[in-house]
Structure 1
Amino acid sequence: MRITTLLLTAALLMPAQSWAHAWLKLEIATTEYPPYTSTEMEHEGYINHIINEAFLETGVVVEFTSLKWEDALEATKNGEFDAVSYGNFVRSREDEFLHSKPITAESLVFYVRRDGPVQQWNTLSDLDQYKMGITDGYLYTDELTGYIEKNKNIVTYDTDEENFQALIDGEIDIFPIDELTGWYLLEREFNQDDRNDVMRLETYLSTVTTHLLIPKGRKNSRLVMELFNKGLEEITLEGKMQRFKRLLKEGFYQHPEKPVNYDRR
């Protein structure tokens, strides 16, 4: 991916309609994290739809390749991809990645067993005696990551689904996950009895912003970020972000073979 400063200036200033053809193609690593990102969903998921449309505003096309989360990060750091879709803002990641402007803001919550020992919490130290399940390779928030590193009552599973199953089976007591993803997985992958066994605690852990992650130290990293930020601003002004959010709530992006009734939220 090579481009001159002159082309960069033109890309940022010219409207999308003036591009008869894309002048640049980017390779973006993504993961299976429905309904935000998934190769089996419309437009490869809600977040990837936003990313694709934002880049199109500046005449750039993207191609997504789905990998495991840790593999996506490592391959992108090694120069195999131009960016990763997507990640929460985490300060410890700033040494290796640039964070784009926020794409969305989502709530990080705790799920517990309905009849389990955890019914409420005020500070993370309240949870020290309980087994917390986490998903391998994830960085949640700076606060929670610090807590996990110091706590011995942490159990790691490969996937969010495995964490939910461990919670239902009583192998763990509490599990942090993005609110929408947690609800979506429970609706799609578990039966009504399983869903009745768990509940979301009312006290949120935090609200996190999501970002396109661009590897630092590459010649065109800053360019990729500026193009995306410019396109994101444009689709926001055009009202597309609100439309995409509405499509998400209406179930437009979901897996066709296992539809989820979003009206139940």
Structure 2
Amino acid sequence: MKKTALILFALLLLPTQSWAHAWLKLKIATSEYPPFTSSKMEHDGYINHITKEAFLESGVVVEFTSMPWEDALEATQNGEYDAVSYGNFVRAREDEFFHSKPITAENLIFFTRTDSEIDSWKNLSDLAQYKMGITEGYLYTDELNRFIKDNSNTVEAKTDKENFEALLDGKIDIFPTDDLSGWYLLQRDFNDSQRKQITQLRPFISSVTTHLLVPKGSENGKLVLALFNRGIEQLTLDGKMKRFKRLLKEGYYQTPNKPVNYDRR
């Protein structure tokens, strides 16, 4: 039996606890995707806080390094990092990465302009005539990814913020992103007049689960995955996942110089 397997077996037999002294340090690649992940936020953002605490349940400490999303995936596949925080579940990524147990579930939606002729949709084919903005390197859902691949009427930008700017300028007609991060960016980086020009297109695309991505080519990948999954289970049992969500809604994970009011009533 390999050393990694022996360590994993021993860990799973131990009672759940947060160890006083770390026995393992992991390097995790992350990106700027507030309020979920950001080096400018408390605990590097909401999801990174959960990730850190999940590993601490087994006495493992993590170090986050922020970089562009595609760089994070590539560097982790090349063995420079132990995992990526974080990604939606998409089958297209399963050849290269393990998906951990779900961390959160979010609604993926289309944003459009309030003066747009688009008021609803049933099938993605209904939107083929409209110019869609997408963010470089992102995989959204399996269905939406297939649509994007087969549809030439798409425009790629480097960031979600650039896509919102393109939407305001009329360069694109629709833009998919998750509800919370989209709303957060609109509150943080755009003024009230600009926000009034953007609305959500109904219905939402789908609910997506978020995961830690662990490279399948890593020698210790299965160990890292098992440690994290065990930690998520314990945080859930202890009620801490609800606490982290409450902290998010209370504005704990904020860019200090650009606070956002989370009350959307």
TM over 0.5: yes
- Partners in 1 of 2:169 and 2:4 — Cα distance? 57
**Which position in structure 2 is the counterpart of 1:70?**
70
Q: Runs ≥4 in structure 1, deviation > 6 angstroms?
A: none
SS in 2 for 1:227: helix
- Partners in 1 of 2:133 and 2:70 — Cα distance? 18
- Partners in 2 of 1:61 and 1:79 — Cα distance? 18
**Which position in structure 2 is the counterpart of 1:181?**
181
For the pair 1:119 / 2:119, whether they are aligned, the reply is: yes
CA drift of 1:3 comes to 5.3
**Which position in structure 2 is the counterpart of 1:213?**
213
TM-score, L = length of structure 1: 0.97
Residues 90 and 141, structure 1, Cα contact 8 Å, conserved in 2: yes
**Which position in structure 2 is the counterpart of 1:223?**
223
Residues 15 and 58, structure 1, Cα contact 8 Å, conserved in 2: no
For the pair 1:253 / 2:249, whether they are aligned, the reply is: no
For residues 222-241 of structure 1, the aligned pairs below 5 Å read 222-241=222-241
5+ residue gaps, structure 2, are none
- Partners in 1 of 2:83 and 2:133 — Cα distance? 28
Residues 135 and 156, structure 2, Cα contact 8 Å, conserved in 1: yes
Residues 15 and 57, structure 1, Cα contact 8 Å, conserved in 2: no
For residues 6-85 of structure 1, the aligned pairs below 5 Å read 6-15=6-15, 17=17, 19-85=19-85
Change (3 A) 1:241 1:30: same
Residues 55 and 228, structure 1, Cα contact 8 Å, conserved in 2: yes
Post-superposition CA distance 1:32-87 (Å, at most 9, x none): 00000000000000000000000000110000000100000000000000000000
Residues 105 and 209, structure 1, Cα contact 8 Å, conserved in 2: yes
Residues 4 and 220, structure 2, Cα contact 8 Å, conserved in 1: no
**Which position in structure 2 is the counterpart of 1:94?**
94
TM-score, L = length of structure 2: 0.97
Greater Cα offset, 80-89 or 216-225: 216-225
5+ residue gaps, structure 1, are none
Residues 215 and 221, structure 1, Cα contact 8 Å, conserved in 2: yes
CA drift of 1:12 comes to 2.7
**Which position in structure 2 is the counterpart of 1:110?**
110
Change (3 A) 1:18 1:125: closer
Post-superposition CA distance 1:168-214 (Å, at most 9, x none): 11111000000000100000000000000010113010000100000
Amino acid at match of 1:26: L
SS in 1 for 2:242: helix
- Partners in 2 of 1:20 and 1:61 — Cα distance? 11
Amino acid at match of 2:141: T
% identical equivalent positions = 68
SS in 2 for 1:203: strand
Number of corresponding residues: 264
SS in 2 for 1:201: strand
SS in 2 for 1:19: coil
SS in 2 for 1:264: coil
Residues 77 and 217, structure 2, Cα contact 8 Å, conserved in 1: no
- Partners in 1 of 2:17 and 2:92 — Cα distance? 39
Greater Cα offset, 2-11 or 254-263: 2-11
- Partners in 2 of 1:103 and 1:126 — Cα distance? 32
User: What value does the CA root-mean-square deviation take over the aligned residues?
Assistant: 1.3
- Partners in 1 of 2:187 and 2:229 — Cα distance? 33
**Which position in structure 2 is the counterpart of 1:132?**
132
Amino acid at match of 1:159: T
CA drift of 1:14 comes to 2.7
Residues 5 and 223, structure 2, Cα contact 8 Å, conserved in 1: no
Residues 251 and 262, structure 2, Cα contact 8 Å, conserved in 1: yes
